[in-house]
Structures are given as C-alpha cells and as structure tokens.
Amino acid sequence: MLRMAADKGEGYIAQGLDIADLLAVVYFRELRHDPRDPDWTERDRFVLSIGHYSIALYAALHRAGYIPEEALETFGLNGADLALSTFDDQPGVEITGGSLGHGLGQAVGMALGYRLDGNPGRILCLISDGELQEGSIWEAAMAGAHHGTDNLTVLIDSNGIQADGPTVLRMEPIADKWRAFGWDTVEVDGNDVGAIAGAFDDLRDRDGRPKAIVLRTTPGSGIPTLERRERAHFVRVEPAEWSALLEELERENG
C-alpha cells in the first residue's frame, strides 16, 4: 500500500492502514472465493462501498491472488486498470464504489438474490462512519432488517475522520443505531485481528437478522507518525518521507 502511494506522493493511506487488519481477516479467514474464477456464482462477496479506499482493496486482492504485483505499480496511472476509485470491471471488485451511500443497498439486493437461489454464499459490505451521513445507508438498513437478510454483514469502519476533519456530524452511538434498526450488532477494536475474527464467530450462526460489526479503528494504524497526524483524511507525503514510513511500519509490526 505504501509503495503504491509513494509512486503518487499521496493517497488514502491512513484509511487503508486502518482497514488492513479487517481485510486480512476477510480475505484470509472469512471469504469463500476463488481468484481463478472471480465470477464463481456461490462465492462470498466483499462489497467495498468506500471505493476510494481502493489502495487497500488492491493490496488485499494482490495477496489473495487476483492482481499481479507488477499491476500494483500502475495504481492510479493514466490508462491503468487499477483506478483511484474502484470499478466493477476489475476482477475481484464487486461494485463501482467511491460515491458514498451506494454499497449497502446493492449488498441487500445481492443478499436477497442469493437467498432466492438458495445460494450459500454470504455478502460482506464495508462502509464507513462518515458514510453513515448518507440517507441511502439508512434506507438500506431498513430494507435489510425488514427482509431478514441474515446472509449479509455490514462492516462499519469507524475511524472518526472525514474530508473536513474529525467526524463533522455526530454519528454516535453508532452501534445503538444499528441495533435500533434491527441488525445483530457487535462492536470491536478494528485493529485487533483476533477481536475481528471473534466478532465474525460471534455473529456466524445467528439467523433471521442482518449483522453489523462496528470496527473502532485508528487512521494510519501501525505507523505512529501517521497515527499522530491531524489531517489524516488524504495524506500527502514528501518523497523522502515514504521510505521512513515504510521502515517505521516494518519496525513497529515486525
């Protein structure tokens, strides 16, 4: 991720790092999928609503076998497949994301489609706390609960930052809102891999209601310099600084 951003000098690095632990659990523990057959009809689907977090998804898709390493170097370049925001013509990418508030409703539709077919696949949809300000999220929350889409889990990256600064409109209590809307909800430290895995396990066999995991995350997680940065929404870094950040990440995380 850092190397991808370094080529451009900027990117959604802080957010990418804060959901990296989640993506590790999703792609290497939870998701039933096949990188050789991205359109496998019974696959679990990971729907990234926050498509501008593409940098993190591409890194995960690379590790999961969808994207070759050399393609990562083309991230965000003119004419490249790996665009700054996600488009669904890229194998492994389920929806065209980035314009916020679009993912969860489509995830509800996918969950209904799977249920209709008796498809055992699950739908996971990652949204963010700032995105909760989009009304369409709550329209989808109502429909998911009404139709009892228990094959759907919404993952809410609660990192407390938005474009204009720290969460600009009060969204708390986030977990209580989802419970009130009829979703089976748990809240965990989103940068603790064990806690995230535990949340999935906790919700796994509950039937009848859609599920929500509220992930409390730290922007720039794993790199103290970034964690301390006040304006973390869209990180610009001087060329010399990138290698220092990379070293810091390796030092902090072994």
Packing angle between helix 103-117 and helix 135-146, nearest 10 degrees?
20
Tokens found for residue 14: 């802080």
Q: Closer CB to another protein, residue 106 or residue 158?
A: 106
In the complex with another protein, which residue's Cβ is closer, 99 or 243?
99
CA-CA-CA-CA torsion sign (85, 88, 93, 95):
positive
Q: How far is the CB of 180 from another protein (least distance, A)?
A: 17
Closest approach of another protein to the CB of residue 59, in Å: 24
Report the sign of the C-alpha dihedral through residues 154, 160, 161, 166, in that order: positive
Binder of another protein out of 74, 136, 162, 225 (CB under 8 A):
136
Q: Which of 77, 99, 201, 252 binds another protein (CB under 8 A)?
A: 99
Number of neighbouring beta carbons within 10 Å of residue 43? 18
Is residue 75 within 8 A of residue 8, CB to CB? The reply is yes
> Minimum distance from CB of 132 to another protein (Å)?
15
DSSP calls for 156-216 = EEE--EETTEE-SS---SHHHHHHHTT-EEEEEETT-HHHHHHHHHHHHT--SS-EEEEEE
Piece of the chain touching another protein by CB under 8 A; list 58-66, 100-108, 195-203, 240-248 = 100-108
In this chain, which of 113, 166, 173, 194 binds another protein, going by CB under 8 A? 113
> Is 214 among the residues that bind another protein (CB under 8 A)?
no
**182 is a contact residue toward another protein (CB under 8 A):** no
Could you say which residues in the range 30-89 bind another protein, by CB under 8 A?
Answer: 41, 88
Q: How far apart are the first and last CA of the chain?
A: 17
Q: Is residue 209 a contact point for another protein (CB under 8 A)? A: no
> What sign does the CA torsion over 186, 189, 191, 197 have?
negative
Give me the residues that bind another protein (CB under 8 A), please: 41, 88, 94-96, 99, 101-102, 104-114, 116-117, 119, 135-136, 139-140, 142-143, 146-147
